[in-house]
Structure 1
Amino acid sequence: MRKSIATFIALSVTICILLSVSFTTDETVNLGKYSTEGLELNYTVSPDENIKDNVLASNDVNKTFSPFLGKSFVGFKEAVGFKESGGDYFTVNTLGYLGKYQFGKGTLRLLGIKNPKKFLKNPELQERAFIANAERNKWVLRRDIKNFVGKRINGVLVTESGILAAAHLAGPGSVKKYLRSYGLDNFEDSYGTNVEYYMKKFSGYDTSSLKPNKKAKAI
């Protein structure tokens, strides 16, 4: 025990001596020659106050956005796109669904798109198709949005964004059945994803910029 204490004391003294030596120098560092005068030190990018939540519906889909999209509409759109395809505009899944948002050919025809091959090569058109489809679904589900938003079904809070995301997955008819059966009729796609999962995953985003439009078209 005494030997251990002596060793500890000796080690402590050695460390103190080394620290003392390291901070003692005959040469004084002259900081006067180091100056930031004249240098451009503003490395931050100021936010573009002209960017709106629906900007991806414009002609330039290659704009750079902040990754901190939160619960904005752009955040909603990008979250759905990532879930559907990992954000890949040019992918086709095993069931033939196309692009970033995995549209079926039938839905594309409803939106005025008759050439799936051109659609797959056109990111701008895919963004317009997502918005048009969401506006169409919002019109179809307008009464259900009014009647069910704010309620809970199977413990899941019903929100407008959750309803629209689920309609993108399963179609507005399946969402109507889910809501009106209070969760008993829970449509599931070929990959095992159901309406309730999308209702929960995409809850609480701001989709107020979408206007209900029965005749919404992407073209």
Structure 2
Amino acid sequence: MTKNSVKNFVIPFTICVFSALALYPDSSLDPEIYSTEGLELNYNISEELAMANQDQFIEHSIFTPHLGKSFEGFKEALAFKESRGNYFTVNTLGYLGKYQFGSETLKLIGIYTPNQFLYNPELQEKAFVANAERNKWVLRKDIKRFEGQHISGIKVTESGILAAAHLAGPGNVKKFLRSHGGNNLSDAYGSSVRYYMKKFSGYDTSMIKPDKKAKVTL
């Protein structure tokens, strides 16, 4: 008998038994007689489907209220891609926090204590802004030159450039732009400069001011 056949038989049968017990409380019906012991009743959904449903639930619930294309929307969308917005996570390569910073990048913006960084959400938020300010300074000429152009099938925007710089560093974004998409670096998990430039295009990042010496202070 197939699982579907068992399911179609057991569920209606069980309903009938308990309906009879409710209608005739003094009857001699014995629920033990109608045990499902020994029947294969495993209806678990696949792990892939469960994860897909969980991801869909998290994705729909995390962006409330709707932040649109604001700078806050940019930060939260990028954080969701990096860590599902978890301040206290460390990935398999040792990248830290909500925005998945590497220790060398943290040093560039004045943070030398990764453990302190990991457990301090305020520090992480300031680090994101400082790093974006530094990247915007490094890429200022490329933003001016390439913004609005179409490269490798995508429209280049400032927010896309900054997101890609967060992923791969400003140097690799320069290589992508100046090779017109020919040099498209991917990280260890398969995310590429092009993918980030497309996924995070069109956000308002005008509040980020280019700053060569951007540092984090509390």
What's the TM-score, normalizing by structure 1? Answer: 0.70
Q: How far off is 1:67 after superposition?
A: 1.5
Pairing partner for 1:196 from 179, 194, 197: 194
The runs of at least 4 consecutive aligned structure 1 residues that moved more than 4 Å come to none
Distance 1:134 1:111 in 2: 10
The CA RMSD measured in Å over matched residues stands at 0.9
Counterpart in the other structure of 2:130: 132
Deviations 1:50-75 (A, max 9, x none): xxxxxxxxxxxxxxx96111000000
Partners of 2:207 and 2:190 in 1: how far apart?
Answer: 31
**The one of 52, 74, 77 aligned to 1:76:** 74
SS at match of 2:77: helix
Q: Distance in 1 between matches of 2:174 and 2:152?
A: 16
Secondary structure at 2:128 match in 1: helix
Q: Distance in 2 between matches of 1:154 and 1:66?
A: 33
Aligned residue number for residue 178 of structure 2: 180
Aligned to 2:161: 163
State the SS of the aligned residue for 1:113: coil
CA distance in 2 between counterparts of 1:67 and 1:112 reads 33
Q: 5+ unaligned residues in a row in structure 1: which ranges?
A: 1-64
- Matches of 2:165 and 2:203 in 1, distance apart? 15
C-alpha distance after superposition, 1:124-154 (max 9, x if no partner) = 0000000000000000000000000000011
Q: How is 1:113-132 mapped onto 2 (pairs within 5 angstroms)? A: 113-132=111-130
Partners of 1:87 and 1:107 in 2: how far apart?
A: 19
Q: Residue 209 of structure 1: SS of its match in structure 2?
A: coil
- Give the corresponding residue for 1:91: 89
The counterpart of 1:109, out of the listed 95, 107, 110, is 107
> Aligned partners of 1:103, 1:143: CA distance in 2, in Å?
25
C-alpha distance in 1 between matches for 2:206 and 2:93: 32
Q: How far apart, in 2, do the equivalents of 1:189 and 1:67 lie?
A: 31
Select 2:207's aligned residue among 201, 206, 209. 209
Q: Distance in 2 between matches of 1:66 and 1:193?
A: 26
1:45 matched residue in structure 2: none
> Which residues of 2 match residues 46-61 of structure 1 at below 5 A?
none
The alignment's TM-score, normalised by the length of structure 2, stands at: 0.70
SS at match of 1:138: helix
State the percentage of identical aligned residues: 73
Higher helix proportion, which one?
A: 2
